[in-house]
């Protein structure tokens, strides 16, 4: 390992320099940081007291040069088609990863705040932007010759980096929370695929997975953020005093940005930020006027659950470029349900304020759709359902662990490897699949699903690293100590089979 590129972003900012130091010590690797702008470079230079980092590369020039298109349109599109053929990807897949340039692709999030970039974006300039990103990474790889890329960035630059690296056989690894407890894993692609998960499931004996997971562990499965305190804080955030405080904070931040000279075209417009705060309250009040079905009522009905995603968001734009239309998914499922079966739809609190006008009215008007309160805990509802419908979702993983059938529109979910997770690649699959899931559910089939779910959890634990013993999320913590670096470096080496 002679050369390593690291994305210099704030996730795990306490880790990257100490880990880079360890990579240089053990492998003699040169370290190349890729940062957004000069301010980011200065930050990492201050962190790098030992002079570990060998070079810095910034990317903000892409946004500054967005309006510059030197070639005629036919040449821009021809060049893009060449990249599409070479890297087996479409430009539209890349644009979906960016909240600014791909904003129009997300009909369910059209109320997301606008930026200067999103307002001036047009198709020709965006395609040219992608061309320049491809060319940039080709030059970077030719010059720096990285053997490993650490970190995953969303948006056009992150997606093109990953695509070019993969084409050149360069491994990419990103440390991310595996959405179970404090377990973390090294993803090897932009879909956050976990290294070795499938083979670990096949390797585990019955004794091994049974000793790793307990029935009680799954029966108590519950994500920590979704507590009564979380809901109280959300309600408080919609109060006028809270909104007024946030507006004042936005004013202070805008002045600070102006003094520091940090005026980038990707920043959200001040007026849009203020409008978003008010719109969130307005839309939430609109949503709460609808009648929500209670969990007691659901117990007496046959239904599937679809919990909505936030959009635009990398969880749908980057991780499921093939299918991320939530309203279409609702209609597809609802139009293929037999008589007496409902689709329960639950809104995500973080998505309120981003939806288009009449979004909730459109869903509520579908005859066999029931609205679930946004305050309901989705997994509690899922336990009553005949199955859950997801694109990419932690709920899908949790349901799969519990042995609840999952209909997955996302093609890259880690839990798709389970037999009771049904990946939908065509709308023609839906009707027979739904009828199959509604057929009599034998006790033996339920037991098999539950055992497979436990085996999946055991495998996930084995291929991940439990970091519950350390401070993982604090923004102001000290740099990683020797023990932390040793354990995380060991897990990285394992994911690379070193």
User: What number is the average pLDDT over the span 105-125?
Assistant: 91
Q: CA 144, 146, 147: angle at the middle one, nearest 5?
A: 155
User: What number is the average pLDDT over the span 7-34?
Assistant: 93
User: What number is the average pLDDT over the span 245-262?
Assistant: 81
Per-residue confidence band for 223, with pLDDT thresholds at 50, 70 and 90? low
The string of pLDDT tens digits covering residues 140-174 is 999 999 999 999 988 999 999 999 999 999 999 99
- On the question of pLDDT at 276 being above 70, the answer is yes
**Of 9-13, 138-142, 243-247, 276-280, where does mean pLDDT reach its minimum?**
9-13
pLDDT the model gives residue 252: 85
pLDDT the model gives residue 63: 82
Yes or no: say if 364 and 351 are a contact pair by the CB < 8 Å rule: no
The string of pLDDT tens digits covering residues 409-444 is 999 999 999 999 999 999 999 999 999 999 988 889
Cα dist. 402→395, 406, 453, 474 in Å? Answer: 11, 11, 6, 31
The string of pLDDT tens digits covering residues 44-99 is 999 999 999 999 999 988 888 899 999 999 999 999 999 999 999 999 999 999 99
- On the question of pLDDT at 265 being above 60, the answer is no
Per-residue confidence band for 380, with pLDDT thresholds at 50, 70 and 90? very high
- On the question of pLDDT at 220 being above 90, the answer is no
Query: Cα separation of 488 and 473, whole Å?
Result: 15
User: What number is the average pLDDT over the span 95-119?
Assistant: 91
pLDDT the model gives residue 264: 58
User: What number is the average pLDDT over the span 327-334?
Assistant: 96
Four-CA torsion 449, 453, 459, 462, nearest 10 degrees: -150
User: What number is the average pLDDT over the span 286-296?
Assistant: 94
- On the question of pLDDT at 9 being above 90, the answer is no
- With H, G, I as helix, E, B as strand and everything else as coil, classify residue 307: strand
Longest dimension (CA), the chain: 68
- On the question of pLDDT at 233 being above 90, the answer is no
Average pLDDT, the chain: 91
User: What number is the average pLDDT over the span 285-305?
Assistant: 95
Yes or no: say if 187 and 193 are a contact pair by the CB < 8 Å rule: yes
Spell out the residues 6+ positions from residue 6 whose beta carbon is closer than 8 angstroms to its own: 16, 20, 31, 32, 33, 34, 149, 150, 151
User: What number is the average pLDDT over the span 231-241?
Assistant: 89
> Residue 183: beta bridge partners?
466
């Amino acid at each position: 390992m002679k050369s390593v590129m690291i994305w210099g972003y704030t996730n795990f900012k306490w880790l990257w320099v100490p880990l880079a130091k360890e990579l240089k010590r053990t492998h003699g690797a040169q370290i190349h940081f890729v940062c957004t702008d000069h301010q980011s470079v200065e930050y990492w230079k201050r962190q790098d007291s030992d002079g570990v980092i060998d070079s810095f590369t910034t990317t903000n020039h892409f946004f500054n040069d967005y309006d510059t298109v030197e070639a005629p349109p036919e040449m821009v599109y021809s060049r893009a088609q060449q990249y599409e053929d070479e890297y087996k990807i479409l430009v539209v897949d890349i644009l979906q990863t960016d909240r600014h340039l791909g904003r129009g692709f997300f009909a369910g999030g059209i109320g997301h705040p606008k930026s200067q970039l999103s307002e001036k974006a047009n198709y020709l300039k965006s395609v040219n932007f992608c061309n320049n990103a491809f060319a940039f990474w080709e030059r970077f790889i030719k010059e720096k010759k990285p053997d490993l890329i650490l970190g995953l960035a969303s948006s056009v630059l992150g997606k093109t980096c990953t695509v070019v690296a993969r084409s050149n056989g360069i491994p990419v690894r990103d440390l991310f929370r595996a959405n179970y407890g404090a377990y973390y894993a090294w993803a090897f692609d932009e879909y956050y695929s976990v290294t070795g998960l499938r083979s670990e499931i096949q390797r585990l004996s019955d004794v091994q997975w049974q000793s790793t997971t307990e029935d009680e562990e799954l029966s108590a499965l519950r994500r920590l953020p979704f507590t009564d305190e979380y809901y109280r804080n959300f309600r408080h955030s919609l109060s006028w005093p809270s909104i007024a405080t946030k507006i004042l904070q936005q004013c202070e931040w805008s002045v600070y940005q102006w003094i520091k000279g940090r005026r980038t075209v990707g920043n959200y417009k001040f007026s849009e930020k203020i409008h978003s705060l008010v719109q969130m309250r307005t839309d939430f009040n609109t949503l709460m006027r609808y009648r929500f079905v209670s969990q007691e009522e659901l117990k007496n009905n046959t239904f599937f659950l679809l919990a909505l995603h936030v959009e635009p968001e990398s969880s749908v734009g980057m991780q499921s470029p093939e299918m991320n239309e939530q309203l279409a998914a609702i209609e597809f499922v609802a139009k293929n349900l037999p008589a007496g079966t409902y689709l329960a739809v639950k809104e995500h609190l973080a998505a309120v304020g981003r939806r288009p006008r009449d979004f909730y009215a459109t869903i509520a008007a579908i005859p066999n759709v029931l609205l679930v309160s946004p305050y309901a805990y989705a997994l509690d509802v899922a336990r009553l359902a005949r199955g859950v419908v997801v694109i990419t979702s932690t709920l899908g993983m949790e349901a799969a662990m519990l042995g609840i059938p999952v209909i997955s529109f996302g093609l890259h979910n880690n839990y798709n490897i389970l037999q009771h997770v049904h990946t939908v690649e065509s709308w023609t699959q839906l009707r027979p699949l739904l009828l199959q899931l509604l057929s009599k559910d034998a006790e033996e089939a339920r037991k098999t699903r539950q055992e497979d779910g436990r085996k999946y959890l055991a495998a996930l634990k084995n291929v991940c690293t439990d970091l519950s013993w350390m401070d993982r999320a604090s923004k102001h913590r000290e740099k990683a100590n020797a023990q932390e670096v040793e354990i995380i470096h060991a897990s990285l080496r394992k994911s690379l089979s070193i």
